[in-house]
Amino acid sequence: MSQRIVTRPLTAEAFAPFGDVIDVSGEPDKMINQGMCGRHHDKAILDFSDGKAGISVFNAQARELPMRLDMVERHPDGSQAFLPLSREPFLVVVAPDENGRPGTPLAFVTAPGQGVNYHRNVWHAVCAPLSEQGQFAVVDRIGDGPNLEEYWFEEDITIQEQ
Ligand SMILES: NC(=O)N[C@@H](O)C(=O)O
Ligand code: NI
């Protein structure tokens, strides 16, 4: 059986069951540095079972839509945040957990400047930029063990644009 998942714009409300949307489009939470800088403060819930928080940079290859969704993964020991270093959109795919397996995936396309923080143990597709500017700062758990569970879909799932 094949399934087609249509992308939708990323909103904090729709993404809330899966994580946080890190968005700097609105007003900052506070002005700092003598009024010269707007601080969008404390935008995501970092959650690690052990280890430490790390900052890495991903240079991800661009993906094209429609795209076959082969697998989703999750990190049982920590949350994982993706902060794009460009204003290009990227694809965010998540799925609810249904007795240890992913349920029907949801696919979002970010608006310029939006980042995401997947909450701990949430099924998600790997980092998927939709342009060549696929550079991300990633904040996630650095520690022992794989901190990775993968689920490879048997059925044919295609992500397509709205
Ligand atoms: N494996 C890795 O560091 N990245 C993935 O977790 C991902 O979500 O892209
Ligand atoms: Ni991940």
* 86 Cα: distance to centroid of ligand 1 (angstroms): 18
User: Nearest ligand, CA of residue 92?
Assistant: 1
Residue 127 beta carbon below 6 angstroms from any ligand 1 atom:
yes
pLDDT tens readout for residues 81-139: 999 999 999 999 999 999 999 999 999 999 998 999 999 999 999 999 999 889 999 99
What architecture is the 2-28+45-156 domain classified under in CATH? Sandwich (2.60)
Residue 126 beta carbon below 6 angstroms from any ligand 1 atom:
yes
pLDDT tens readout for residues 4-46: 999 999 999 999 999 999 998 889 999 999 999 999 999 999 9
DSSP, res 113: T
Full-model pTM: 0.96
* Cis status of the peptide bond prior to 66, with omega within 30 of 0: yes
Residue 50 has a CB neighbour count (10 Å cut-off) of: 11
Backbone phi, psi, residue 141, to 5°: -80, 135
Name which residue sits closest to atom 2 of ligand 1, judged by CA. 126
Residue 60 beta carbon below 6 angstroms from any ligand 1 atom:
no
The structural domains of the chain, with segments of one domain joined by +, span 2-28+45-156
